[in-house]
Amino acid sequence: MAAIKKPSVFQRILIPIDFSPTSEEAAAYGVMMAKAHKAKLHILHVVDVSEDAAGFYVPHLSYDKFDKEMVVGATVMLKKFCTKACKGFKNFDSEVLSGIPYKAILKAAKGNESDLIIMGALGRGRLDKLLFGSTTERVMRKSKCPVLIVHPAP
């Protein structure tokens, strides 16, 4: 069996957020880890455009326009989130993608060559967890890098 190379420091940390209280806690851990390791943070929000999320009919708005408006709204929310979560920390960037959340997170982690993913244990989609499995669980199972899971504060 080949020896596993252990990183001495984390250089690139990915924090996928869904604006839930648990993702705020994950961001706090991310900033703390980034400061300790002098790492770059990449804060990501994925607008869920899966059939499960978009399975309702909007008669006055095409899906393409609706998706674009959701990305614009999420970009504004992410900017506010980063201003609060990363106060005093400058070594970060942020991005809004649209897609199936766990797939987009894994793709972003690979594309950014992330050394660590930090995410909340419970997000907004608690019903989704019961029906489909959680995004966090899927990322944890399929990620090529370590995943730190932050549980909600008691």
3-class DSSP assignment, residue 67: helix
Contact predicate 75/96, CB 8 Å: yes
Per-residue pLDDT of 59-85, as tens digits, reads 555 556 667 888 889 999 999 999 999
Is the residue at 6 inside a domain? no
Is the residue at 39 inside a domain? yes
Is the residue at 34 inside a domain? yes
52 pLDDT above the threshold of 70: no
Percent of the chain with pLDDT over 70: 76
Is the residue at 74 inside a domain? yes
The enclosing domain of 94 has a CATH number of 3.40.50.620
Is the residue at 106 inside a domain? yes
Q: What are the DSSP E strand ranges found in 32-143?
A: 40-48, 92-99, 116-120
DSSP 71: H
Is the residue at 84 inside a domain? yes
Is the residue at 7 inside a domain? no
39 pLDDT above the threshold of 50: yes
Contact predicate 134/100, CB 8 Å: no
- Phi-psi sector, 94: left (phi>0), alpha (psi -120 to 50), beta: beta
Number of domains in the chain: 1
101 pLDDT above the threshold of 80: yes
**Minimum mean pLDDT among 61-65, 129-133, 141-145: which range?**
129-133
Distance CA 29, CA 101 (A): 21
Q: What are the DSSP E strand ranges found in 39-134?
A: 40-48, 92-99, 116-120
> How confident is residue 4, by pLDDT bands cut at 50, 70 and 90?
low
What's the pTM value of the predicted model, to 2 decimals? 0.83
Q: What is the mean pLDDT of the chain?
A: 83
Domain holding 65, by residue range, is 12-150
Is the residue at 1 inside a domain? no
> How confident is residue 55, by pLDDT bands cut at 50, 70 and 90?
very low
